[in-house]
Amino acid sequence: MVPELKDLEYVDRLREMDLQSLYDRKNRGMMECYKMTHGSYDIDLILKQDMDTTRKGRLFKLKMTSSSKEVRHHYFSIGVVTKWNSLPESVVDAPC
């Protein structure tokens, strides 16, 4: 996306722009998701907690929102839900 850096390798482009790798950013997303579900800030700004108590589930489960737009499938609020809900309960329910 930055024409001046198009000939550089991925790692060199990251270093040049002082960015974290996509892998690191996705892991950071899990940490932010933990903060949202545990009350550090308002979860409803970005994600929706699954409050359905009629079926067996854990306390901090997130609700998947639907979208008809293909581009929205790559948004943080979509991608993080599947990953978060697949984490073991011991991780999601951890006190810190």
pLDDT tens digits, one per residue of 55-67:
555 667 777 666 6
- CB of 13 within 8 A of CB of 2? yes
Q: What is the pLDDT of residue 18?
A: 94
14 located within any domain: no
60 located within any domain: yes
Question: How many structural domains is the chain composed of?
Answer: 1
The pTM score is 0.59
For residue 53, pLDDT over 60 is answered with no
57 located within any domain: yes
82 located within any domain: yes
Q: Which among 64, 63, 58 is positioned nearest to 93, based on CA atoms?
A: 58
Tokens in use for 50? 């699954």
Tokens in use for 1? 């996306």
34 located within any domain: yes
